[in-house]
Amino acid sequence: MKVLKRSMVSVLALCFMITLVLAGCSGKNNNEPAASSSAAQSSAPASEVASESPSPTPEEPPAELTYYYIVFNMPTDQQAVEDAINEYIKPKINATIKLKPVIESGYKDKINTMLAANEAFDLLWTSNWGGGDYDNKVVKGALLPLDELIASTPALQSAIPQVAWDDTKVDGKIYAVPNMQIAAKAEGFAIQKRFVDKYNIDLDAIKTQADIEPVLKAIKEGEPDIIPIAKTANMFDFGRHYGYAPTGYKLGDPEYKIIDTIDKPEYRTFLDLMRKWYQAGYIYKDAPTIKDDQFNNLLLSGKVAVEWNTTMKPGGEVDDQKRFGGNEIVYKRISEPEFTGVRPTMTAISKTSKNPQAAIKFLELTATDPTLFNLLAFGIEGKHYTKIDDKTVKINQDGGYKEDLGWVFGNVLIGYLKEGQAADTWEVTKTLNETAKLPEVNGFNFNNEPYKTEGANVFAVGEQYGKALNSGAVDPEKVFPKYKDAVKKAGVDKQTEEMQKQLDEWLKAHGKK
């Protein structure tokens, strides 16, 4: 995690520019007519004159960038999009790019294998969930610190709010560029509208997680072929709705004391509710083991009535309609928007990159240039989408590039809207990002290096017991004691102690304790 030295490429480019300027000063900008030059007055044959003239400085070859990112279904018309992107960016940044989409379920292993082999590549999607593995990659030295590079690209620096840059920092340094989207998130339920209408569901009556139970019951009894609610494991963020901050302390506690999950009495209440719902057939039976790609296919079948949604972004109903197999969706929010950060989707530069300056220029374009962003997100106009108006597009579902993953690539706020989204969607999104409530410890992120062994052990125990408990698939009376004992043995107390130490130091440094 050392500061990147400036590339000699910039120096060579500067020298080349100076050479051109000097040449220009001795040519057309000279006060004497061009015909009076020694070459023009020479009696030697033209071929000899040409051979005596200095050879022009060769143009610097374009950088060749490689970019790895997640997809949930592999696009079939990838090459056409890549060709169009390269035609567009080469004159702008003297670089071309090789797009390397990877199915999400295998992304983490793919990237880790490349990093272990010290394989040279440039850009990679990263996050605080799934295969993104941001903090671990920073700790392992796999990502390039970007502070100096960002300072050299002022358009990129100004395109992203400072609060977003701060959220990416680890030990005071930036290691990834946020892919700007909604960063002020609320939680609630995404529900198929056909069931809301059919069962006269009163959305105003749903104010907590538990309030969805009558809806699930009605769907279970009236729709034998429909799954009332489904999600991957750890369906609900129980802590947020029982008054705990994501950092682990009770909201309003002046001491900011971190309490591990297993010691929170509300956790057992939550587990009992999940068990009740699972046994009643409300929760998808394979919730503890289903993978993200499998879950997406399940949603696409249209057989899931309700999903717990942790984003509730403006215009998100349109995206979710596609995810729910084309069925119209309504949202019911049960929390107020809060700034939850930008770590769910970022792009980093690999420590093995041979072209970091070209890579940061490419990222600057993804954040500031609508043409490039729309190529990445939507593909080629007339082939992969058609324009409804200047701001809105209709995606061609048979065009071979329909993934609609703008949130993976750059800055959705400069891109097109999708058919059905309100014209002011991006303006509303920007306003929410700017006005949402900030967490009490906004800007604080744990450094897991001091407890990485214990953290890995605790995570493994969570995989063994936590997923099944949190989705109601096992009896908490029998399994919870085993979970509690295993977590203790895994070193959760040491982990919590170190987390508390880091939080206390941050609180004191910021005058909060």
Q: Using one digit for the tens of pLDDT, what is the confidence trace for 4-33?
A: 333 333 333 333 333 333 333 333 333 332
* Tokens, residue 400: 């071979």
Instruction: Tell me, letter by letter, the H, E, C secondary structure of 222-263.
Output: HCCCCEEECCCCCCCCHHHHCCECCCCEECCCCCCCECCHHH
Which parts of 238-328 fold into alpha helices (H)? 238-241, 265-279, 292-300, 316-323
The whole-number pLDDT of residue 264 equals: 84
Asked if the domains 51-182+340-445 and 184-339 are classified in one and the same CATH topology, the answer is: yes
Amino acid at 139: V
> Residue 307 carries which side chain, given as an amino acid letter?
E
* pLDDT interval class at 501 (50, 70, 90): very high
DSSP per-residue string spanning 349-377: EBTT-S-HHHHHHHHHHHHH-HHHHHHHH
DSSP string for 136-203: HHHHTT-B---HHHHHT-HHHHHHS-HHHHHHH-BTTB---EE--S--EE--EEEEEHHHHHHTT--G
Residue among 297, 299, 329, 326 nearest 316 (CA): 329
pLDDT reading at 394 higher than 90: yes
The pLDDT of residue 119 = 96
Length of the chain, in residues? 513
pLDDT of 499 strictly over 50: yes
Rounded to an integer, the average pLDDT of 184-191 is 92
Q: Which residues, other chains included, contact 439 with Cβ-Cβ below 8 Å and sequence gap of 6+?
A: 245, 246, 247, 338, 339, 340
Which range has the top average pLDDT, 211-220, 242-251, 252-261? 211-220
pLDDT digits (tens, 9 = 90+) for 194-237: 999 999 999 999 999 999 999 999 999 999 999 999 987 677 77
* C-alpha distances in Å from residue 194, one per residue of 191, 213, 317, 330: 9, 18, 14, 10
Output the pLDDT for position 476: 96
Q: What is the pLDDT of residue 439?
A: 84
* In the predicted structure, residue 37 carries a pLDDT above the cut 90: no
Confidence band, pLDDT 50/70/90 cuts, at residue 423: very high
Q: Are 307 and 231 in contact (CB under 8 A)?
A: yes
- Please answer whether residues 206 and 229 qualify as being in contact, where contact means their C-beta atoms are separated by less than 8 angstroms: no
Residue 58's pLDDT is what? 52
Domain locations in the chain?
A: 18-48, 51-182+340-445, 184-339, 451-509
Give mean pLDDT, residues 380-390.
96
CATH class given for the domain over 51-182+340-445: alpha beta
**pLDDT at position 230, please?**
92
498, containing H or E segment: helix 492-509
Give the integer Cα–Cα distance in Å for 8 and 272.
Answer: 62
Angle at 214 between CA 209 and CA 216, to 5 degrees: 80
Average pLDDT over residues 234-260: 84
184-339: what fold? D-Maltodextrin-Binding Protein; domain 2 (3.40.190)
**What are the tokens at 158?**
């100004």
Q: Find out whether 434 and 249 touch, Cβ atoms under 8 Å.
A: no
